[in-house]
Amino acid sequence: MAEIKLVRIDSRLIHGQVASQWTPKTAAKSIVIIDDATAADSFMSEMLQLACPRNVDVIVYGVEKGVAQYKADKFGNGNVIVLFQNVDNCYRAFKAGFDFTELNIAQIPAGPGRVRLPGTTINMNKSEMSMVEEICNSGVECIMQMTPNESRTPLLPIIQRAK
């Protein structure tokens, strides 16, 4: 079975920080993206594979299929990075039985009804804050850490202040 080295919410999915810093740091052999919209877009799935180092597989699942694959074999063998594009997909996977001990939230863009969490690149609405708060309160360590070399910032106190 695979060892999940990083679970991250980042609207950009695979980009420079993930490809050039997190992938080598975690020695990931695959990146699993769990996102309904991306799973439905074969072109985007192919583009994400191109954004990744050649020796790393990119596998894209919708939430339901991703959780089923996790339950079946923990995403195969080797070290794995799991990426979510948004809080909703992460929360749905969590509620369906995708277990993890740490959640790294990197970037969520601004939008209607969203507020920027102070000192972060994370924008959430009240519903998203409640979802992340529930995940954190279940025993998952929720942090913001853009790159492996940066310090880890606990998110629960920031979310609680922002609510």
Domain ranges in the chain are: 3-162
Q: Is the dihedral of CA 37, 40, 44, 50 positive or negative?
A: positive
Instruction: Determine the pLDDT at residue 163.
Output: 81
Domain 3-162 in CATH: superfamily?
A: Phosphotransferase system, sorbose subfamily IIB component (3.40.35.10)
The pLDDT of residue 53 is: 87
pLDDT at site 23: 96
Q: Which of 138, 133, 60 is nearest to 99 (CA)?
A: 138
Give me the average pLDDT of each 10-residue run along the chain (163 residues). Answer: 95 94 97 97 93 93 98 95 98 98 97 94 97 98 96 96 88
SS3 80: strand
Angstrom distances, CA of residue 67 to CA of 23, 56, 111, 120: 22, 21, 28, 29
Contacts of 150 (CB under 8 A, 6+ apart): none
